[in-house]
Structure 1
Amino acid sequence: MNVYLLTLLVFSPLLGMVMVALMPRTEERTIKQFGFFGTLPPLILTLFLLVQYYSGIALSSFDIKVNWIRFGNLSMYDPNLFAVNFELGLDGLTLVFLLLTTIISSLAALASFYIKREWKGYYLLFLLLEIGMLGVFTAENLILFFIFFEMTLVPTFFLIGKWGYLEKEKASYQFLIYNGIGSAILLVVILILFARTGTTNIAALTQMMTMGGVSLFAPVSGSMKYGLCLALLIAFAIKLPMFPFHTWMVRVHAEAPPSIVMIHAGILLKIGAYGIIRFGMGIFPDQYQTLASIIVLFGVISLLYGAFLALVQTDFKLVLAYSSVSHMGIVMMGLGALNEAGLQGAIFQVVSHGLIAAFLFFLVAVLYERTGTTLLNRLGGLAKSMPLFSGFLLAGGMASLGLPGMSGFISEFMVFLGLFKSQPVLAAIGAIGLILTAIYVLRAVLTMTFGKDNSLIEKEIYDLKGKEMVPTAVLLGLIIAIGVYPNLLGRPLQGTIDAIMLAVGGR
């Protein structure tokens, strides 16, 4: 049963898709309920895997490998040569990303109750998107990873373009163009590796590139390794996104429905960080090491650039969009530090920002449902009419700026600890971004909650309702839990971090 559990987990949203597909288009309430329940099987299975991990069962016992596609007839030399297998695997890093994906997906499905039309098509695409995300994080060969990666692009394109705001079509096409370019670069890298080595298995490629393993077909030269590593970094920097590849993400954050932005900011952007860690650092550690200073430099630029632009925005959605650019800069800084503290901080930042961004964009969904706007100058005095909402908004703001006791503090502290050890000058410059973060977060939150009363909110506006309390309480609880007890994440990640540090020569 263990060997089929990952396959069941990845494709379990299909059950929800079938239930939604069988419902008449007019059954709004039932479709929304089935759409939400369709996200529960992968969540339950992921929690089961977590329990199994803490009970002492090796995560590798859940790996699965099935013969799938073979090119040519070279089995006489090596049975795995030019064979692409259906391979899913699990380790500590994968488990953390699966938890992030399934939790945010379920909560985003709840937030999707605000969708006003064509619910059937929406939830079918939503659940297909979840299958793609689960597959990305469990794929054990590059071709399977690419297939699942592409599976996330198509439903996201339609979810933005069909159910977004005024300029939704522009946002969806910009999303597709930028991510399509990143996909094309990634595909070229995969095809070159496959043609030269005869495999796309991640473990086999890691051995060939780092441990002196020999390709039976054609060796990969040092200069080619540098080129492939750089191409991978660019492909995933677009997805992250890192300055200057960020403009598409800002438009998506502003125009996509908040429930999809919860998915996009909370999970999809993190595929970029996952790819850099798994493939950039994992397969090309020597080449990555020489590029680390450039990665840190662009990370600092992203941190400061995003913070400065967030400071002057008048729309709360755009404040959060540029905040995401800034916080992803912190991830890049940690990944370029080349030591354990920096890498651990970067992964913590990925998870922390995923939870905080999902939390804040759920509050955006609630706010837009009540008022029809997210402009700061039209939302003054919310603390008077929506005190509970305002309290949660302030808590989310404190988490975003890195208040001690919340996940943002732990991640940023470790990143800067690692960076001050390896590159203190860039770390000192980047620290300015932390000050700017506090300024733009407090400016936006206090303007909305305690700013000048506006006629827009003088009418009777009800506070958070029962079903809206579930996502807010769960996400805030997780943010505080990680901030108070970081070992919740640190323990599963330790094995992966040790292996990467050994490969890149960090400490």
Structure 2
Amino acid sequence: MNVYLLSLLVFSPLLGIVMVALMPKKEERTIKQFGFFGTLPPLFLSFFLYSQYYSGVALSLFDIKLNWIRFGNLEMYDPKLFTVDFELGVDGLSLTFILLTTIISSLAAIASIYIKKEWKGYYLLFLILEIGMLGVFTAENLLLFFIFFEMTLIPAFFLIGRWGFLERERAAYSFLIYNGLGSAVLLVAILILFARTGTTNIAALTQMMTMGGVSLFAPISGSMKYGLCLAFLVAFAIKLPVFPFHSWMVRVHAEAPPSIVMIHAGVLLKIGAYGIIRFGMGIFPEQYKSLAFTIVLFGVLSFLYGAFLALAQTDFKHVLAYSSISHMGIVMMGLGALNESGIQGAIFQVISHGLIAALLFFLVGVLYERTGTTMLPKLGGLAKSMPIFSGFMLACGMASLGLPGMSGFISEFMVFLGLFKSQPLLAAIGVIGLVLTAVYVLRAVMLMTFGKNDSLIEKETRDLGSWEFLPAMVLLGLIISVGVYPNLLGGPLQGTIEAMMLALGGR
């Protein structure tokens, strides 16, 4: 069972795909139920994996490796040379991302009750997208990672372009073009590594690059390592995204259906951070160290740029879009700090923002369903007509600006603690972003909850229903749990962070 658990985890949404595919197109209620139930097997399996970790079971016992592809016949030199195996594995880092993926996918499936058309096609693409995301976080070689990475792009493109808002097609093509460029850069880097080393296994590549990087046929020079590291960073910076590669993400946040933005902001953007940590920092630690100042600089620029623009927006979806850019800047600041506090804070920020963004866009979906708008000038007085909704919005806003006791505080505290140790000047400049974050969050939340009561809202009295209350409560509970007891994440991450610090020189 242990050997095949990860395969079951990654491909278990296929059960939901089969159930949805067999249903007639007009059976809306049943299709939505099967679509939601299709997300439950990976959710249960991910929690089982988490429980196994905390019971003391080594995560390496769940690794799987099967013969897959062989290029040429070089067994006389090395039977493993130029072979690509089907390899899945999990460690503390990937375990946290898997949990984030399965939780948000299940809650986004509930939020998909607001989808008005073509439910069958929607849920088929939705579940394919989940398979791709789970594969990304369990792949143990670069080629398999790339296949799963590309597997997330196509269903996301159609989900945005078919079920989004007015400018959905433009947003979908922006998403595809920018991410396609990032994929092209990533593929070139993977092919060069494969051609030079004869392997795409991540552990083997990490050992080669840190032990001199000499392969059987082609030694890898220091300048080539530097270029490959830079290629990985650029590819994943587009995905994150980091200023100035951000414009596509603003369109997606504004035009995609809220249930898909829950996944996009909560999980898909996090693939960028995961890639930087796993490949940029993991495979090329020496070259990554030489780029640390540039990484922090772009992080500070993204943090301040996103915060300034969020402050000027009148559409709440745009506020959240620029807020995501700003918070991903914090991630880059932590990853460039090159110390345990900064790196751990960056990973905490990735998970924290995933939960907070998912809750905010879930509430955006509820709000749009009730009022038909997300324009701040047209909203106001929600605290009177929708008090429970307003309470969740206020709590989520406090988490976003870093209120102590919530996940946003502990992540930002650790990032700035680490950054003040390594880059105090840039850290001091970055503090301005914390002030701006408090201003734009409070401005938007207060305008909606206690602002001028527009006639549009006077007619609306329906608060969160039971199916809406559950996802909101789960996400808020997780946000508070991580803030109050950070070791929920810190425990699984400890081994991974220690390995990173050892590779980076123990700083």
Normalising by structure 1, what TM-score? 1.00
Take 2:330 and 2:374, find their aligned partners in 1: how far apart are those partners? 26
Q: One-letter code of the match for 1:179?
A: N
| 1:90-123 Cα deviation digits (max 9, x unpaired) | 1000100000000000000000010000000000
1:417 alignment counterpart: 417
Take 1:481 and 1:438, find their aligned partners in 2: how far apart are those partners? 22
Please state how far the C-alpha of 1:76 moved relative to its aligned partner.
1.7
Take 1:499 and 1:215, find their aligned partners in 2: how far apart are those partners? 23
Take 2:289 and 2:101, find their aligned partners in 1: how far apart are those partners? 29
Take 2:361 and 2:161, find their aligned partners in 1: how far apart are those partners? 18
2:220 alignment counterpart: 220
Take 1:460 and 1:261, find their aligned partners in 2: how far apart are those partners? 25
Please state how far the C-alpha of 1:460 moved relative to its aligned partner.
3.5
Take 1:457 and 1:331, find their aligned partners in 2: how far apart are those partners? 37
Residues 13 and 39 of structure 1 are in contact (CA less than 8 Å); yes or no, is this contact kept in structure 2?
Answer: yes
| 1:405-454 Cα deviation digits (max 9, x unpaired) | 00000000000000000000000000000000000000000000000000
Residues 238 and 246 of structure 2 are in contact (CA less than 8 Å); yes or no, is this contact kept in structure 1?
Answer: yes
2:299 alignment counterpart: 299
Unaligned runs of 5+ in 2: none
Residues 370 and 461 of structure 1 are in contact (CA less than 8 Å); yes or no, is this contact kept in structure 2?
Answer: no
Q: One-letter code of the match for 1:71?
A: F
Take 2:127 and 2:272, find their aligned partners in 1: how far apart are those partners? 21
**SS in structure 2 at match of 1:127:** helix
2:21 alignment counterpart: 21
1:132 alignment counterpart: 132
Unaligned runs of 5+ in 1: none
Take 1:217 and 1:70, find their aligned partners in 2: how far apart are those partners? 17
Residues 107 and 471 of structure 1 are in contact (CA less than 8 Å); yes or no, is this contact kept in structure 2?
Answer: yes
1:329 alignment counterpart: 329
| 1:135-161 Cα deviation digits (max 9, x unpaired) | 000000000000000000000000000
| 1:307-362 Cα deviation digits (max 9, x unpaired) | 00000100000000000000000000000000000000000000000000000000
1:370 alignment counterpart: 370
2:5 alignment counterpart: 5
Residues 126 and 155 of structure 1 are in contact (CA less than 8 Å); yes or no, is this contact kept in structure 2?
Answer: yes
Residues 249 and 321 of structure 1 are in contact (CA less than 8 Å); yes or no, is this contact kept in structure 2?
Answer: yes
Q: One-letter code of the match for 1:270?
A: K
| 1:440-489 Cα deviation digits (max 9, x unpaired) | 00000000000000000111430000010111000000000000000000
2:156 alignment counterpart: 156
Superposed, 1:462-477 pairs within 5 Å as 462-477=462-477
1:256 alignment counterpart: 256
Q: One-letter code of the match for 1:25?
A: K
Number of aligned positions between the proteins: 507
Take 2:372 and 2:74, find their aligned partners in 1: how far apart are those partners? 62
Take 1:270 and 1:79, find their aligned partners in 2: how far apart are those partners? 36
Q: One-letter code of the match for 2:268?
A: L
Residues 242 and 302 of structure 1 are in contact (CA less than 8 Å); yes or no, is this contact kept in structure 2?
Answer: yes
**SS in structure 1 at match of 2:66:** strand
Please state how far the C-alpha of 1:213 moved relative to its aligned partner.
5.7
Take 2:421 and 2:155, find their aligned partners in 1: how far apart are those partners? 42
Residues 214 and 220 of structure 2 are in contact (CA less than 8 Å); yes or no, is this contact kept in structure 1?
Answer: no
1:144 alignment counterpart: 144
Please state how far the C-alpha of 1:216 moved relative to its aligned partner.
1.6
Take 1:442 and 1:427, find their aligned partners in 2: how far apart are those partners? 23
Take 1:344 and 1:462, find their aligned partners in 2: how far apart are those partners? 41
Superposed, 1:83-482 pairs within 5 Å as 83-212=83-212, 214-482=214-482
Please state how far the C-alpha of 1:506 moved relative to its aligned partner.
3.9
Take 2:505 and 2:398, find their aligned partners in 1: how far apart are those partners? 36
Please state how far the C-alpha of 1:182 moved relative to its aligned partner.
0.0
Q: One-letter code of the match for 2:347?
A: I
| 1:258-281 Cα deviation digits (max 9, x unpaired) | 000000000000000000000000
Normalising by structure 2, what TM-score? 1.00
Take 1:346 and 1:402, find their aligned partners in 2: how far apart are those partners? 14
Take 1:189 and 1:229, find their aligned partners in 2: how far apart are those partners? 9
| 1:62-106 Cα deviation digits (max 9, x unpaired) | 000000000000012111100000000010001000000000000
**SS in structure 1 at match of 2:291:** helix
| 1:387-413 Cα deviation digits (max 9, x unpaired) | 010000000000000000000000000
Please state how far the C-alpha of 1:205 moved relative to its aligned partner.
0.3
Tell me how large the CA RMSD over aligned residues is. 0.6
Residues 164 and 255 of structure 1 are in contact (CA less than 8 Å); yes or no, is this contact kept in structure 2?
Answer: yes
Take 2:427 and 2:120, find their aligned partners in 1: how far apart are those partners? 49
Residues 89 and 138 of structure 2 are in contact (CA less than 8 Å); yes or no, is this contact kept in structure 1?
Answer: yes
Take 1:127 and 1:217, find their aligned partners in 2: how far apart are those partners? 42
**SS in structure 2 at match of 1:264:** helix
Take 1:359 and 1:487, find their aligned partners in 2: how far apart are those partners? 22
Structure 1 residue ranges (4+ consecutive) displaced by more than 2 angstroms after TM superposition: 211-214
Take 1:196 and 1:81, find their aligned partners in 2: how far apart are those partners? 11
Take 1:182 and 1:205, find their aligned partners in 2: how far apart are those partners? 21
